[in-house]
Amino acid sequence: MSALRLRIRTPAGLALDSEVSAIRAEDEDGWFGILPGRRDIVAVLPPGLLLFTDADGEGYAAVSGGLLDLSGPECRVMVREARVAREARRAADALESLLATRRERSERRRSVMRDLEREALRRLSRSVREARW
């Protein structure tokens, strides 16, 4: 059996390093499959699931979005966060958790930007008032 080496890497380290026979992933155009011998590709992955088949059967990786790079027999996936599961329900729960974390981060960023905008307007207003005197 031909195999691919699937490595899913996060800033915290390697989330998965396994020999697999098939990978299914999704990019902005939809789902695609990877089997041994496929042409090299690079794909931007949205937050979602990556499915793989290895000696233990089907597995799932909930990913926060990132980059997939297939080069020869090696498929590297670089993401901010990933959680690997063997059961679909656990993978779905992990994905929901990743999406909730992403929403929280996004809201914190928006809050910081609103605070910065208010401070900039306050300083600009003060500068204009001082310039008039």
pLDDT in tens, 71-130: 999 999 999 989 898 888 787 787 777 777 877 878 888 888 998 999 999 898 888 888
| Domain boundary assignment for the chain | 4-132
Residue 12 vs residue 131, higher pLDDT: 12
| Beta-sheet pairing, 30-34 with 41-45 | unpaired
Whole-model pTM over 0.85: no
What does the radius of gyration of the chain's CA atoms come to, in whole angstroms?
Answer: 21
Say which residue the tokens 């080496």 belong to: 5
Looking at the DSSP assignment, which residues form a beta bridge with residue 60? 51, 85
CATH code of the region 4-132? 2.60.15.10
Query: If phi over 0 gives left and psi between -120 and 50 gives alpha, with beta otherwise, what is residue 88?
Result: alpha
Tokens of 115: 């605070």
Res 133: pLDDT = 63
Beta strands in the chain (DSSP E): 4-10, 13-27, 30-34, 41-45, 48-54, 57-63, 66-71, 74-79, 82-85
